[in-house]
Amino acid sequence: MFQEIKDAVSTREAASFYGLKIGRGGMACCPFHDDKHPSMKVDARFHCFGCGADGDVINFVQKMFSLDAKQAAFKLIDDFHLNIDTKRKESKHEKNQRIRLQKEKERKEKIRVAYAEEFRRFRSRMGDIFRTLHNWILDYEPTREQWEAGNIDEHYICAINNRDPVDWILETLDFGEDAEIYEQYKHREETIASYERKLTDAAGRATGRSGERPSSNSEPERIA
């Protein structure tokens, strides 16, 4: 019965039906924590990159309405007028097929969870880099005299050149189409390494010019 429900109704369909506003790329504000910025991805399943809530359409209805799995299943059957026999017994062939499908689902779920965690790390690291660049613009903005003398701090030059591209990457990760998001995800290691190198180089050039280390609260955190 559960599988028939999941085949008939996606999490995205149910979430929209129950009032969740889903934006471009399937992102929505998570209803399971105080979410001001869309952090939940909703499609066949759902996953929140903020609080970690995760599951299929039945799990979503369980959490949304504080129901057990069976109650959630019957609610979906009623609300979506599904023609599902809730009393029919499972045949041996159906049982074997269900077990096989369940094992395949578990394998895919492990892959999906690993992807979700790696995506969260990528999004978090790019957010750290953006904040560092934004702070550099505020901390190292040149005075009029410095502009006229051409004495522009390397931190500021780096931040002006790179903050908007990093912001665009974050916008794509949060609101892009699936293909756009995956394209960024594929190159995540090169992207992180490239911007970390730019930050390090800018800080090094600034130190070489001034003989002083930049402020510690302007340095990005490193990923373990």
> What pLDDT band is residue 102 in, cutting at 50, 70 and 90?
confident
Sorting pLDDT into bands at 50, 70 and 90, what band is 36? confident
**What pTM did the predictor assign?**
0.52
CATH superfamily assigned to domain 2-88:
Zinc finger, CHC2-typedomain (3.90.580.10)
Q: What is the pLDDT of residues 191-221, one digit of tens each?
A: 999 999 999 999 998 876 654 444 434 444 4
Q: Is 66 exposed, middle or buried (0-12, 13-18, 19+ CB in 10 A)?
A: exposed
Strands 54-55 and 27-28: unpaired
Check residue 224 and give its pLDDT.
32
pLDDT for residue 189 is more than 60:
yes
pLDDT value at 62 more than 60: yes
Residue type, 37: H
Sign of CA dihedral 173, 181, 119, 47: positive
Q: Where are the domains of the chain?
A: 2-88, 110-218
For residue range 123-174, list pLDDT tens digits in order. 999 999 999 999 999 999 999 999 999 899 999 999 999 999 999 999 999 9
**DSSP sequence for 49-107:** TTT--EE-HHHHHHHHHT--HHHHHHHHHHHTT----SSPPPPHHHHHHHHHHHHHHHH
Q: CA separation (Å) from 44 to 6, 23, 82?
A: 8, 15, 17
The CA angle 218-223-224, to the nearest 5 degrees, is 130
Residue 26's region, left for phi above 0, alpha for psi from -120 to 50, else beta, is left
Q: What is the pLDDT of residue 25?
A: 85
H/E element, 27:
strand 27-28
Tracing tokens 């957010």 back to the chain, one arrives at 127
